[in-house]
Structure formats: structure tokens, C-alpha cells
Structure 1
Amino acid sequence: MNSAIIFDMDGTLYQTNLILEPALEATFEQLRKNGLWTGTTPIEKYRQIMGVPLPVVWETLCPEHSIEIRQESNSLFQLALIEQISSCNGALYNEVENTLAKLSKHYPLFIASNGQTEYLQAIADTYQLTKWIKGIYSIDLIASGNKSELVATVLKENNINHGFVVGDRSSDIQAALDNDLISIGVRFDFSQESELEKAHYTVNHFDEIDKIIEHELNTTAFD
């Protein structure tokens, strides 16, 4: 079998929590200056929905605004995030680099994320992820915004018929289930225990992942 490991980005590889607050604050400060928002920045609300497609983010944070204003808000937010990334205000989780380096010797690695292309590329460039990651797939590629369809695209384009999805939200676990892959849930910043209930495995530290994959290698007949 052709096997691979597909990773989520936010809250799985990258500590988005480190750049979320300043980027979101900058965005809503601009909205306040434009007379489009009053009150505090809804950071907690965003933390609760982190990982959902971006249109859903802005429907949730700005339910009274027009589609045009939501799109403008998202553009401001993406620019603020990329600025934070490029300034190295974020970070990869502990042991991500070592684990990716180890796994990449045996498996092709991919990223499938609800983040936009430019955002994902900024992280990949800043932390030189392409040393280990074979392909980066953004939800921009899927009109429906469905994570399961995005993972299916990764499988089809790379002739993969077995492997793993590693992520922190229910959409990652569901994407694995829908595509007959093994799911590994990570209990990091944005994860919620109820969303990881259906995961085949869960980990508290990133370097536990390679042990799980080794276990599967020893118990399952795949390349």
C-alpha cells in the first residue's frame, strides 16, 4: 500500500495561540476605527471555533455584518497573521521538527488545513517545513470548505490508499473516518475532548505520534 501522514496546521503543528490575539486585536481595532465594531475583540469566541472554515469564522464573529464586510475583515486578519508569522512571534510545537524529520524518512508527509494558502505558505517558509512536507493543501482548493473532501484530494493526487490524519479538531477526525484513515488527535491548545472522542488515538505530546505509527506498522500490513 502507498501510505502517508496528513497533518492539520493550526493547533497541531503550529502554535497559532501565540499570534491569534494580536492579529485578531489588530483586525477589530481597524473595524472599530471604521465604525464597524463596538466593544471588545471576541477572542474567546474565536478560540472556541478555531479550525472551522474561514467563512464560518466571520459568520460567527460578525453575524450582523454583510458578506462584503466579513470578507474585508478576513483580508485584514490574514495580513495581520502573516505579519505575526514573519516576525517569528509564533512557534511550532515542541518536538515537531524532530518528529517530522524522523517520519519523513519513511513516509510522505502532507498538510491539509482550513487555513488560506498565503497563510500556510508563510508558516512553511518561516519554519522551512518543506524540508519534510511533500505538499501543502489549503481549504481554498475545495469549494464546499469540507475538510474530508480536502483530505480526499490529497489521497487522490498522490495515489495514497492508507495512512493517518493528525489534528486537533473534529473536522480532522471526521476527515480520517470519511477516508478510511487512522486518526490521531492531539490535545493541544484548541482541542476539546468531546471532539476527539472518535479518534483512534490521542496524544498529549507531539513526539508520541511516531510511536503510534510504529505500532501500526508492526500490526498492519502496509508499506
Structure 2
Amino acid sequence: MSTIPFAVIFDMDGTLFQTNKILGSSLEKTFEVLRSEGHWQGEAPLAVYQKIMGVPLKVVWETLLPNHDESIRNQADKLFLECLNQEIKEGKGQLYPNVIETLSLFKQRGIPLFIVSNGLEKYLEELCAYFKLHDFLTDVYSVERSLVGSKTDVVHMLLKDYTIEEAVMVGDRKSDIEAAKENGLVAVGCQFGFAAANELAGADFLIKDFLELQAFVLKRRSALTF
């Protein structure tokens, strides 16, 4: 495989996809089943999930169901994925403004595009299929590819697999910034995602809209000597 001199790597939830559009209803449906089976009382812990959005799902269920058996967590994980995928199929989710236009522009300029996400492969495939993202992407990496289970490790794997020399990584959480920095990449933080105050402090550049990303990436690429 030939070397890729420059690429752009995206997170999915809170970066390309407005996960909040389907998060609440999917979580409520999941906990409705758990309540009906006597495994939960009270409201679905949406506020707690929103605070940790972007972490691996194993961590999600350890946080939301700290006193439950692993079997219950696995059940919740399966239910939640089914609910998310159904919501996507029903057209209830949305990409952020100017995402498709940005991906299309980058592809036209010959920039390889990738996704690295803590989401599961079935979920990512559902999103990519519904929004036709495969038309623009070179590959999609789920955290499931990593035995370590960290985004930093998955990004390292991607860089090695495709022999990428330089890349811009775009994400909305601290884990995205850390994954970029620990792999020697340029980190772009999305201020419209799930990040808490100061969470993106380590980013090289912050954006409020994908139009800002277009200008930043094209300027960065034009500065390189191929």
C-alpha cells in the first residue's frame, strides 16, 4: 500500500452526527425494558450519559448501571444499539450542518477521509449507510478493532495500516484531542458537540461550524510539500 501524505480523521458522535437527536429516546426505550423486568427504577439516566458521551460503551454501562451484573449491562447494551439503529432507519437522526458539503469538498481535493469512533461497528455501519458516508470515506474504524479499547490505540492502528504521514483529527471530546496528540496529529476541537467547558483546551484549532474546518484543512494541506 502506498503512503498517504495527508488525511483527515473524524470522530462520529458529536462531530459528524447529532447523536443528541436520538440519544434520549433510545436510552428511555432501553430503560423502559429494564424497568419492566425489575432491573431499574426511576427515570433513565440521560443527564449522566450526556456527561460521559463519547466513552466506550463498556464504560457507559459500568457508569449507568454500577450495581448491576454484567449480564444486565450486556442486555442494556444490546437494547440500546437496537434502539439507536431503529431511530436512524426512521430518519430521526441528523448530521451537523455542512458535513456532507465538507466531506465532498475534501474528497474532490483528493484528501483521504476516515472515521475513528468509540461506537460499535453495527451502529457506525447503520449511520454510514443511511447518510451515504461511504461515498466519501476511505475506511471506518470502530473501537472494537482494538484489544486495548482506547481511541488512541485505534488511531495508531489506522495510521500504521494506511501509512499516513500527517493528519488532522476532528472531534468533540477530550479523548479525541488526546488521541490526536499522542499520535502526533493536529487536533481540531468541535465546540458544537458534547464537550464540557475547557475540555478542548489542548486542541490546535477550534471550530463552531464545518465551514471553518474547510478553510483550516485546505490551508494546512496546501502548506505541505508532496
TM-score range, shorter chain: over 0.9
TM-score, normalised to structure 1, is 0.97
Structure 2 counterparts to residues 4-153 of structure 1, below 5 A? 4-105=7-108, 106-153=110-157
Unaligned runs of 5+ in 1: none
Report the Cα distance in structure 2 between the residues aligned to 1:75 and 1:144, rounded to whole angstroms: 21
The answer as to whether partners of 1:112 and 1:139 remain within 8 angstroms in 2 is: yes
What is the root-mean-square deviation of aligned Cα atoms in Å? 1.0
The answer as to whether partners of 1:17 and 1:189 remain within 8 angstroms in 2 is: no
Structure 2 counterparts to residues 151-170 of structure 1, below 5 A? 151-170=155-174
Q: State the 1:193 CA deviation.
A: 3.1
Report the Cα distance in structure 1 between the residues aligned to 2:203 and 2:107, rounded to whole angstroms: 23
Unaligned runs of 5+ in 2: none
3-state SS of paired residue (2:87): helix
Task: Output the amino acid matched with 1:74.
Answer: D
The answer as to whether partners of 2:6 and 2:221 remain within 8 angstroms in 1 is: no
Report the Cα distance in structure 1 between the residues aligned to 2:116 and 2:210, rounded to whole angstroms: 17
Q: State the 1:72 CA deviation.
A: 1.0
Q: State the 1:218 CA deviation.
A: 4.0
Q: Which residue of 2 aligns with 1:208?
A: 212
Report the Cα distance in structure 2 between the residues aligned to 1:143 and 1:46, rounded to whole angstroms: 24
Deviation track 1:90-132 (CA, whole Å, cap 9, x = no partner) reads 0110000000000112210000000000000000000000110
Name the CA shift for 1:32/1:134 in 2 (closer, same or farther; >3 Å): same
Q: Which residue of 2 aligns with 1:176?
A: 180
TM-score, normalised to structure 2, is 0.96
Deviation track 1:12-58 (CA, whole Å, cap 9, x = no partner) reads 00010000011000000000001000011100100000000111000
Task: Output the amino acid matched with 2:101.
Answer: N
Deviation track 1:47-85 (CA, whole Å, cap 9, x = no partner) reads 000000111000110000011111111000000000001
Task: Output the amino acid matched with 1:35.
Answer: G
The answer as to whether partners of 1:113 and 1:147 remain within 8 angstroms in 2 is: yes
Q: Which range is displaced more, 205-214 or 75-84?
A: 205-214
Task: Output the amino acid matched with 1:77.
Answer: F
Report the Cα distance in structure 1 between the residues aligned to 2:193 and 2:56, rounded to whole angstroms: 18
Aligned-pair identity in percent equals 40
The answer as to whether partners of 2:177 and 2:189 remain within 8 angstroms in 1 is: yes
